[in-house]
Amino acid sequence: MSDFTDAGVAMDLEQFATARGERRGGAAWQLENPRCLEVNLNNEMVRIKVGAMIAYRGDLTFERSSSGGVGKMMKAMFTSESGRSTQVTGTGALYLADAAKEVTILQLTDDVLFVNSSDLLAYSSDLEWDISTIKGAGMVAGGLFTFKLTGSGYVALTTHGNPLVLPVDPSQPLFTDPDATVAWSEGLEVAVKTDVNMKTLTGRASGETWQMQYSGTGFVVVQPFEETAANSRGQG
């Protein structure tokens, strides 16, 4: 069976290579297509999700990132947000992707961003990271933690489908499904709202047993997809 373009016309090899070829030049961080990130390094370092590299050219080296100190190592050992990543150093072009999820590039300028580690594709090495605990998660929610990035630099997020950015204002809290939640801004008070009753305990729950609650001023990023804890948590 022949390969076809979106217009339904078969391509020869030269046309295919031209139509599907990489974008050369441009920004340090750019999208090759909606599901592939290109990071151009010039004697620099970037941290990426373990297993996210799909190709590269140039003189790049890959090694497992350190835990960032004893305190962070202990948090990583006892939380689902491992903080583990691959450290890429050198000069060249690096191509990243994760399960054909769509990629969004953000630029932080003395900002703070909280991200689910399963949705974090890459971030600049200049950004500081830590693991933050969600208030009220406790045993009911199985514990809930998030990856905290602080400073100035680039962040690449991945989502199943186009992300939805929901504003939060002090007049009304926002509630989200934790398995659909990708990231949120600084300035929000985050807690867990539980709905535990006899139906929950007897296996007749609604499927929305607990939600994340956001109060204050800021925004929350969600995706039109629910990633179960078994598939998404702790892949760092």
pTM of the model: 0.81
User: Above 80 in pLDDT, residue 223?
Assistant: yes
| pLDDT score recorded for residue 77 | 46
CA triple 35-27-162, angle to 5 deg: 30
The arithmetic mean of pLDDT across residues 132-155, rounded, is 75
- Bridge partners of residue 130, in order along the sequence: 148
The DSSP-derived string for the chain is ---B-TTS-B--HHHHHHHSPPPPSS-SEEEEETTEEEEEEEEEEEEE-TT-EEEEEEEEEEEEPP-SSHHHHHHHHHSS-----EEEEEEEEEEE-STT-EEEEEEEEEEEEEE-GGGEEEEETTSEEEEEEPBT-TTTTT--EEEEEEEEEEEEEEESSS-EEEEEBTTB-EEE-TTTEEEEETTEEEEEEE---HHHHTT---S--EEEEEEESEEEEE-SS---HHHHTT--
Least confident of 49-63, 123-137, 153-167, 179-193: 123-137
How confident is the model at residue 193, as a pLDDT? 83
Average pLDDT over residues 201-218: 72
Superfamily for the 27-227 domain: Mitochondrial biogenesis AIM24 (3.60.160.10)
- Amino acid identity of 9? V
Structural domain spans, the chain: 27-227
Given a cut of 80, whether residue 24 has pLDDT beyond it is no
* pLDDT of residue 20 exceeding 90: no
How large is the average pLDDT for residues 29-37? 95
Asked if 181 and 147 count as a contact pair (C-beta separation under 8 A), the reply is: no
Give the pLDDT of residue 63: 94
Q: Kindly state the percentage of the chain with pLDDT values over 90.
A: 57
Confidence of residue 80 (pLDDT cuts 50, 70, 90): very low
Mean pLDDT of 18-24: 74
